Chain A
Amino acid sequence: MTDVTRKEWLLLSRYLDGDLSAEQVRRIEEKLRSDVALRQAFERLLRTRQVLRAVPQRKAPRTYLLSNVMVRVERQRVLPQLVWRYSSIAAALVATIALLLQVFSPRASQASPLSASAQPEMMVLTAPDALDAEPTEQPLIIFWNPGAYGMGGGGEGPSTSMAPAAPLEQTDSYGVSGGASTTEDTSSDQGMFAKEAEEVVPEMADESAVAQEQALPEEQALSAAASPSSNPILGIAPPEKRGSLQEFSAEENLQPRDSVGEGSALNFGVIALLALFVSIVCGLVAFILHRKQQKQ
Chain B
Amino acid sequence: MDEQTLVQAAQKNDLDAFNQLVLAHQQVVYNVALRMLNDLDTADDATQQAFISAYQKIHTFKGGSFQAWILRIVTNKCYDLLRSGQRHPTRSIDDASDDPDVDWESAALMRDDAPLPEEQVAQKELEAAVQHCIDELPREFKAVVILVDLQGMDYQEAAEIVRSPLGTIKSRLARARMNLQDCLHKFKELLPAQYRSESEGSHD
Residues of chain A touching chain B, judged by Cβ–Cβ distance below 8 Å, are 1-4, 6, 9-10, 12-14, 17, 19, 40-41, 43-45, 47-68, 70-71, 74-75, 291, 294-295
Contacts and interface: CB of A to CB of B under 8 A. Distances in A.
Interface string B3-31: 00000000000010011001100110111
B62 interface: no
Interface in B35-58: 40, 44, 47-48, 51-52, 55-56
A6, A50, A65: residue with the most chain B Cβ atoms closer than 10 Å: A65
Contacts of A9: 174, 178, 203
Contact of B44 (A1, A51, A61): A61
> Which 10 pairs show the lowest CB-CB distances between chains A and B?
A13-B174, A52-B149, A60-B30, A59-B110, A48-B181, A10-B174, A1-B204, A65-B19, A64-B26, A64-B51
B40 A61 contact: yes
Contacts of A63: 22-23, 26
B60 interface: no
Nearest to B41: A61
Interface string B166-179: 00001101110110
A50 B194 CA distance: 9
Nearest to A48: B181
12 contacts: A10-B174, A12-B174, A45-B177, A51-B195, A55-B131, A57-B111, A58-B30, A59-B108, A64-B26, A64-B30, A75-B56, A294-B80
Given A44-B203, A52-B145, A294-B80, 10 more contacts: A13-B170, A13-B177, A19-B155, A41-B203, A44-B200, A47-B181, A55-B127, A55-B150, A59-B109, A71-B55
Contact of A47 (B29, B47, B149, B195): B195
Interface string B142-168: 000100111010110000000000000
B68 interface: no
A79 to B, nearest CB: 12
Contacts of B184: 48, 51
B65 to A, nearest CB: 19
Contact of B181 (A6, A44, A56, A75): A44
Interface of B: 15, 18-19, 22-23, 26-27, 29-31, 34, 40, 44, 47-48, 51-52, 55-56, 80-81, 84, 86, 93, 106-111, 123, 126-127, 130-131, 145, 148-150, 152, 154-155, 170-171, 173-175, 177-178, 180-181, 184, 191-192, 194-195, 197, 199-201, 203-204
Contact of A66 (B22, B148, B192): B22
Nearest to B107: A59
Given A14-B174, A48-B184, A4 B86 contact: no
Contacts of A71: 15, 52, 55-56
A247 B180 CA distance: 91
A49 B176 CA distance: 11
B109 A70 contact: no
A51 B84 CA distance: 31
A75 B56 CA distance: 8
A43 B197 contact: yes
Contact of A45 (B81, B130, B181): B181
B167 to A, nearest CB: 10
Contact of B203 (A4, A10, A61): A4
Given A19-B155, A19-B170, A57 B127 contact: no
B110 to A, nearest CB: 4
A273 to B, nearest CB: 31
Contact of A57 (B31, B80, B81, B199): B31
Nearest to B129: A51
Contacts of B195: 47, 50-51, 54
B144 to A, nearest CB: 11
Nearest to A14: B170
Nearest to B152: A53
Contact of B27 (A40, A59, A74): A59
A40 B199 contact: yes
Contacts of B84: 291, 294
B170 A56 contact: no
A60 B26 contact: yes
A267 to B, nearest CB: 40
